[in-house]
Amino acid sequence: MSLQLGDTAPDFSAVTTVGPITFHEWAGTDWVILFSHPKDFTPVCTTELGYVARLKPEFQKRRVKAIGLSVDSLESHQRWASDIQETQGQALNFPLIADADRKVARLYGMIHPKHDELYTVRTVFVVDPQKKIRLTITYPQTAGRNFEEILRVVDSLQLTDRYAVATPVNWHSGEDVIIVPSLSDGDAQKRFPHGWRAQKPYLRLTPDPRGAAQAESSTAEFEFETSG
Ligand code: BEZ
């Protein structure tokens, strides 16, 4: 059976471009984005790896570590890294797993034989500091990923782990959020002193609670409003 949300991300040892690692130990107390690439020296992957390297400051802000995987040898990865630097203007700055024997790819279900029998598809696993899988996305080999979308979901996960909220369609950090329906209006009043705007009893919008403490001005707009 494939890995599901809430499962513990399987631990493994692997050779990578930054040396041998044991996954859980390497992850430490950070969040992780583990993602697979079909093969070295392929054009879409080359653009993705350069882009992820450029996003490093965004990962660091969120305490996220990136780690890629491709089912080729370490020597091949090292040669490919020069091409990435040359064509993308950005050196690799995170580990790339050399999974030539496909051990990790099989452990994580990264090979979808009806799509390609030999090479991995573009999987993404977001793993939290407790090593639980919190997001999985699978893309076909021909479509480069949108890593801003993956960071957006990390923002949502980190926020909703701390507060009794969910994030609406196309939400970005700082925008209004939804108070979870399981919270009564009475409890919501205690937890969201800036109030909310209720479009329906189950659809209560409130300012991003991390920003709300500083943004006193927004209280005029949000009152303890209920809608029948
Ligand atoms: C690529 O990374 O460019 C790629 C890999 C497999 C199939 C098509 C494109």
Q: Answer yes or no: is the C-beta of 113 below 6 A from any ligand 1 atom.
A: no
Which amino acid residue places its CA nearest to atom 9 of ligand 1?
A: 142
Q: Which of 72, 121, 141 has the most ligand 1 atoms within 8 A of CB, as the residue to mutate? A: 141
Reported pTM: 0.93
| Ligand 1 neighbour 95 (Cβ under 6 A) | no
Average pLDDT over the chain reads 94
- Cβ–ligand 1 distance for 44 under 6 Å, the answer yes
**By CB neighbour count within 10 A (0-12 exposed, 13-18 middle, 19+ buried), where does 24 fall?**
middle
Output the residue whose Cα is nearest ligand 1's atom 6: 141
Q: Is the pLDDT of residue 215 over 90?
A: no
**11-32 tens-digit pLDDT:** 999 999 999 999 999 999 999 9
- Residue reference for tokens 């009152």: 223
Confidence class for position 213, pLDDT limits 50, 70, 90: low
Give the bridge partners for 13, in sequence order.
Answer: 22
Over the stretch 106-141, which tens digit does the pLDDT of each residue have? 999 999 999 999 999 999 999 999 999 999 999 999
Is residue 221 pLDDT above 70, yes or no?
no
pLDDT at 111: 98
CA 144 to chain centre: 15
pLDDT value, residue 220: 42
Report the pLDDT averaged over residues 181-198. Answer: 95
Residues 6+ apart with CB under 8 A from 184: none
Looking at residue 24, its pLDDT comes to 98
47 lines ligand 1 (CB under 6 A): no
Share of the chain above pLDDT 90, in %: 90
pLDDT at 103 over 50: yes
Q: Is the pLDDT of residue 219 over 50?
A: no
Mean pLDDT of 194-221: 78
Q: How far is the CA of 77 from the centre of ligand 1 (A)?
A: 16
Going by C-alpha positions, the residue among 39, 30, 32 that lies closest to residue 9 is 32
pLDDT of the residue at 1:
76
- Residue 214 pLDDT grade (very low, low, confident, very high; cuts 50, 70, 90): low
> 211 pLDDT band (50/70/90 cuts)?
confident
**Cα(141) to centroid(ligand 1), Å:** 5
